């Protein structure tokens, strides 16, 4: 019996005792006692019914508790499996995250190094002498990658004592072509950093003046009649500067053409150098044409001598063939005579020998 049932029974028993005590104290009649007894019996029955219901409720509570425990166990199992899967996914995600963070860290280091290199390049380009050296290095790299070393000379000194960055050795015409690197970067930056129209006009005028100064210097120093070609090249190591000139300063391009100075960028210089290489190959082929013809003539003489020797050898083969035919004829005659000797009767041969004294052998022939 559960504690709740015990408490109910105790309460009912206490109530019955209390009723009996009250009746005995006040003195009730038989009817009152009977009514009290019936009431007490009903209370006891109700209490018993209540106890039964409490027992049933306890059983239901136990069943519900068991079901709840099973549900809790199932939920715990599912939560555990879900937590395990979540933990595995979290570990996998953490591993992927670590790898990606490592990649990002490497990329960050590369970006940092690139930033330092860009800053270093900016520092280099800020200095005029360093900027000039940068242009010369780019020019030399392009020329070395396209032309053979015998086709050009760097820092070549001309007859006027001026030193050009690169001299392409082409035969006359057109003759050696001078290439000099120029880099008007300061005025170009000023042009793009101008905030209003007036500042832009001033910067554009300064940029055009700087470019034309370089054009005149190249035309005066590196175009020498009878020594170099009539045209020289001004190399701009920046495609942006080259594009700015050809997009917004066409008058400078025309003036440069009239001064016989062609402005080139890394890409256009690369195309020009490939054309020069094709020209050099054609010149080399023309120079070698006489040597090739001489060698072909010598080869034809060797073939003629070989033909004569083959003809002489053929004559020897013809004589040998005639001798072989004669040897075959003699051998055939000898074979036939031997067969005749073998086919004749020996006794008949003896008789013939006694009678006529003739020889069995046929008459000798010089054939």
- Tokens of residue 113, six digits: 């190094």
CA distance 218 to 220: 6
Instruction: Find the mean pLDDT for residues 97-111.
Output: 81
Query: Residues 3-32: what's their mean pLDDT?
Result: 58
Query: Is pLDDT of 15 > 70?
Result: no
**CA nearest to 262, candidates 303, 231, 294:** 231
Range of weakest confidence among 54-68, 183-197, 337-351: 337-351
* Cα 155 off chain centre by: 37
**Range with the largest mean pLDDT of 38-47, 70-79, 285-294:** 70-79
Check whether 346 has a pLDDT greater than 70: no
Burial 139-157 (b: 16+ CB within 10 A, else e): bbebbeebbeeebbebebe
pLDDT, greater one: 47 or 266: 266
Helices within the chain (DSSP H only): 3-26, 30-126, 128-146, 185-192, 197-222, 239-248, 250-258, 266-343, 346-356
Distance CA 357, CA 349 (A): 10
Is residue 358 over pLDDT 50? Answer: no
Is the confidence at residue 261, as pLDDT, over 90? yes
Rounded mean pLDDT, 306-321: 83
Task: Write out pLDDT tens, residues 187-204.
Answer: 888 888 888 888 888 989
The predicted structure's pLDDT at residue 54? 72
Concatenated DSSP letters of 172-198: TTT--EEEEE---HHHHHHHHT--SHH
- Is a pLDDT exceeding 90 seen at residue 233? yes
Give every CB contact of residue 58 below 8 A, 6+ residues apart in sequence: 2, 4
In the DSSP assignment, the letter for residue 149 is G
Give the whole-angstrom CA distance, residue 68 versus residue 63. 8
DSSP letter at 361 equals: S
pLDDT number for residue 367: 47
The DSSP element (H or E) to which 235 belongs, if any, is strand 232-235
Q: Inform me whether the pLDDT recorded for 27 exceeds 70.
A: no
- Give the other-Cβ count within 10 Å of 216's Cβ: 14
Instruction: Give which of 183, 186, 189 is closest to 214, Cα–Cα.
Output: 183
The reported pLDDT for the residue numbered 179 is 92
pLDDT of residue 24: 59
Locate 219 and state its tokens.
């035309």
Instruction: Let me know: does 174 contact 229? Beta carbons within 8 Å.
Output: yes
Beta strand 232-235 pairing with 152-157? unpaired
pLDDT digits (tens, 9 = 90+) for 316-327: 888 888 888 888
pTM of the model: 0.47
At 96, is the pLDDT very low, low, confident or very high (cuts 50, 70, 90)? confident
d(CA 255, CA 215): 9
12 near 47, Cβ under 8 Å? yes
What share of the chain has pLDDT > 70, as a percent? 76
Six-digit token string for 281: 């190959």
What's the mean pLDDT in 201-220?
A: 91
Alpha-carbon separation of residue 70 from 59, 61, 104, 173, 175 (angstroms):
16, 14, 49, 104, 102
pLDDT(31) > 70? no
pLDDT at res. 119: 47
Q: Examine the pLDDT at 280 and tell me if it is beyond 80.
A: yes
Which pLDDT band, with edges at 50, 70 and 90, does 32 fall under?
Answer: low
CA 248 and chain centroid, separation: 38
Residue 8 — pLDDT band, cuts 50, 70, 90? low
Q: How confident is the model at residue 12 (pLDDT cuts 50, 70, 90)?
A: low
Average pLDDT, the chain: 78
Average pLDDT over residues 73-96: 83
* pLDDT at residue 218, as a whole number: 92
Alpha carbon 267 to chain centroid distance? 22
The residues, any chain, with a CB within 8 Å of residue 4's CB and separated by 6 or more, are 54, 58
């Amino acid at each position: 019996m559960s504690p709740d049932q015990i408490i109910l029974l105790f309460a009912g028993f206490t109530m019955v005792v209390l009723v009996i005590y009250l009746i005995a104290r006040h003195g009730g009649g038989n009817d009152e006692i009977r009514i009290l007894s019936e009431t007490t019996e009903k209370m006891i029955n109700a209490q018993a019914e209540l106890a039964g219901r409490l027992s049933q409720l306890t059983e239901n509570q136990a069943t519900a508790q068991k079901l709840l425990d099973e549900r809790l166990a199932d939920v715990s199992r599912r939560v555990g499996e879900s937590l395990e899967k979540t933990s595995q996914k979290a570990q996998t995600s953490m591993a992927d995250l670590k790898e990606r963070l490592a990649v990002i860290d490497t990329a960050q280091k590369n970006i940092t190094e690139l930033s330092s290199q860009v800053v270093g390049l900016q520092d280099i380009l800020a200095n005029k002498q360093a900027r000039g050296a940068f242009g010369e290095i780019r020019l030399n790299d392009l020329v070395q990658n396209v032309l053979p070393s015998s086709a050009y000379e760097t820092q070549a000194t001309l007859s006027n004592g001026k030193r050009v960055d690169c001299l392409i050795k082409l035969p006359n015409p057109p003759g050696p072509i001078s290439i000099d690197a120029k880099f008007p970067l300061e005025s170009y930056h000023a042009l793009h950093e101008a905030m209003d129209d007036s500042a832009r006009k001033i910067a554009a005028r300064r940029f055009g003046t700087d470019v034309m100064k370089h054009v005149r210097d190249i035309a005066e120093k590196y175009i020498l009649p009878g020594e170099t070609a009539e045209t020289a090249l001004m190399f701009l190591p920046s495609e942006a500067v080259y594009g700015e000139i050809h997009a917004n300063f066409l008058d400078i391009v025309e003036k440069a053409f009239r001064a016989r100075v062609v402005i080139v960028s890394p890409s256009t210089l690369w195309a020009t150098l490939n054309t020069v290489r094709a020209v050099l190959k054609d010149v080399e082929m023309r120079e070698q044409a006489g040597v090739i013809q001489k060698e072909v003539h010598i080869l034809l003489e060797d073939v003629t001598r070989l033909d004569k020797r083959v003809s002489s050898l053929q004559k020897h083969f013809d004589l040998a063939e005639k001798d072989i035919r004669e040897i075959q004829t003699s051998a055939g005659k000898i074979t036939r005579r031997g067969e005749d000797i073998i086919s004749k009767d020996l006794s008949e041969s003896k008789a013939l020998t006694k009678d006529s004294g003739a020889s069995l052998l046929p008459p000798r022939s010089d054939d």
